[in-house]
Amino acid sequence: MKPPAPLPNILANTLANTLDLIGNTPLVRLAGPSEAAGCDIYGKCEFANPGASVKDRAALGIIRDAESSGELKPDGTVIEGTAGNTGIGIALVANALGYKTVIVMPDNQSREKMDTLRALGARLVLVPPTKFANPGHFVHTSRRLAEETPGAIWANQFDNIANRRAHIETTAPEIWEQMGGKVDGFTCAAGTGGTIAGVGLGLKAKSEKVRIALTDPHGAALYSYYAEGELKSEGSSAAEGIGQGRITANLEGAPIDTQFRISDEEGLVWVGRLLQEEGLCLGLSSGINVAGAIELGKQLKADGIANPQVATILCDTGFRYLSSLYNPEWLAEKELPVFDWLKSGNGADRDD
């Protein structure tokens, strides 16, 4: 019996494996923000990653680095402290490569993140939210667990520069290529600092003229650090995964040219507008990033740059915050404005 004829070469545009789905996300012009800024504002659609957030890039970079160094052995365990998205990325990458996952997370993060991590097979350890100086902080708890667990590594996303290297090597060149080499400004908020530092360093390597701006929420200390040289926080924010009170290893040497402080209320305006006007369901960190991108665009125009183009990060999907950001009771409890369509009597039929 003759062997079957080879299949025709119809797979030229396929990917070799599922981990290749991470990165190469689309970049989209945002109409409302562009109009508000008077220039082109683009959003990098990181919710298109398999784990639905920008943190998939750091997860893959950290795990591949640990494999290369020999620290992570076959059938090993990856342990990390996270607000949730990095843990989701780690769990997916670990599943694809045959590792186990333990995630330590503050218990005030969204229910959807917790449910997702459990569904992915990660062991989830919840701890009370506390200041970084407290030994019970989720980062310190995850480090201790890694030290106590045979065959485990600690991902250490805040101070492991494999995090920012992932953005130097992937996110920055993607943005540069997608914008045809005309990138006048880039901004985003900082959690670990890996994204802002990595994209900033990667874009500066292409052109020193690219203006890199930190967009900081209230309650974080980096705005005052870059503006005045002192780590000092004011107010608070309900945004998950962003806001930092120290200079992490990923932030060391970050090429920050300017900085903006954005309130939750201003970020929510853009969360609402992007959903209602452009069909994008996003988290609060994305709304804060977009508000910062508008400010950066206005600044570049005021400085005489003709038709500036600004990019920012659309960090994750809003479907991860249905019990919080898109819950009118939660918003009211946080003393944040409730979206009009969520108010009683509006939108879909309600039982009340």
Q: Which helix (H) or strand (E) holds 79?
A: strand 77-81
Active-site residue identified among 55, 100, 113, 204: 55
Q: What are phi and psi of 258, to 5 degrees?
A: -155, 170
Long-range contacts formed by 339-344: CB under 8 A, 24+ apart: 339/268, 339/272, 340/272, 341/276
Contact (Cβ atoms closer than 8 angstroms) between residue 17 and residue 47 = no
Q: Which helix (H) or strand (E) holds 35?
A: helix 31-37
CA dihedral 200, 203, 208, 212 (to 10 degrees): -40
Query: How many whole angstroms separate alpha carbon 105 and alpha carbon 107?
Result: 6
Active site residue 55: yes
DSSP three-state, residue 217: strand
* Joined tokens for residue 71: 């620290």
Query: How many whole angstroms separate alpha carbon 209 and alpha carbon 219?
Result: 30
Residues marked active site are found at 55
